[in-house]
Structure 1
């Protein structure tokens, strides 16, 4: 997951390292988290227990990938959702340590942000 300020810092860093980043997939993040970690941060920030409904994403991702590969762009919606949900056990889906070349944060001088600080800033 990436905050808008982190995306801005990444864009500036990419431009400053144009030779290194040209023609490359550049993966950056503010933090790599699970849905449960985001929920825990929300509960800490709001000092409330949230009602949770568990949904298994793997079947949805498989179906959406198939639909997308067949030209149904609606399938991209679920894939995009999965990418934003953080670590998922079967694929990179937001965990850039699992893609070729990994995260570029260190190479670009980008620090990982603090999830609790970001969530508190959003909800308070």
Structure 2
């Protein structure tokens, strides 16, 4: 850290989820930041370095405004990585952030472009509608001095299962492209945006590690494994209807199918780089190798 720089205090919420540990690691490795964690009392934070302070709060973030304000006072930035089902609890954290004088808030927005109304109609509110509502709530707090940055990353690359050597392809959309980002690159994007926030606040930033299609990934993994994979081809609309029917009965086993549908089918925001500007260069993100990333997952 240079003598003229000011160390920013960053507190990470939801640090034990899929993305949280990567965020903690990225910020902790940069001497320009002091990192702490805000955690529910029931969460296990034992995997984090002992030098990182952990602030405990009741399991529902809505229950203790006074305690939240006390914890957040003196913090510069809040990075939220709360689980999908808990995203509305961010309102209480945002309210406390304003009272505590926090300067910058990154909501748990990572993933699909939640502004896409067609996709929002297919999925439970917590996946799209509630996330969009949180960004709108942050927009309402701009007049109170709270800045925000939201990240659209596509599905996390590591969530794809390449161990079964069986591919499920939505035919008619097998060559349609969409974006996906590795967890480490998502974390780096967030860290770099906070490191130099000029022109990176009060907006969505769109990043990707790879722009791929179902067929492109299948071809790559077959080449890497030197093996012909079993492939099941399905009608996209039949898959959507079946999964939606399950969801209407509160059978959530159809959710992965619907998430795959909005990712791979044209018009649902999966290929957001068609209509938005990439922030990869703005955030100094590295060029990544699809083959290298896949190799780690299929070995």
Matches within 5 A, 1:1-124: 1-57=180-236, 78-85=257-264, 88=265, 90-91=266-267, 93-99=269-275, 101-124=276-299
TM-score, reference length from structure 1 = 0.72
Consecutive unaligned residues in structure 1, runs of 5 or more: none
Q: Which has the larger radius of gyration?
A: 2
CA RMSD of aligned residues (A): 3.1
Structure 2 distance, partners of 1:48, 1:81, is 24
Query: Which consecutive segments of 4 or more residues in structure 1 shift more than 4 A?
Result: 58-65, 74-79
Consecutive unaligned residues in structure 2, runs of 5 or more: 1-179
CA displacement at 1:96 relative to structure 2: 2.7
TM-score, reference length from structure 2 = 0.33
CA displacement at 1:9 relative to structure 2: 1.2
More contact order relative to length (CA 8 Å, sep ≥ 6): 1
CA displacement at 1:91 relative to structure 2: 2.3
Cα 1:51–1:76 change in 2 (3 A) is closer
The answer to whether the Cα contact below 8 Å between 2:206 and 2:273 also exists between their aligned partners in 1 is: no
Instruction: Classify the secondary structure of the residue corresponding to 2:295.
Output: helix
Structure 1 distance, partners of 2:205, 2:226, is 36
Structure 1 distance, partners of 2:185, 2:262, is 17
Q: More strand by proportion, 1 or 2?
A: 2
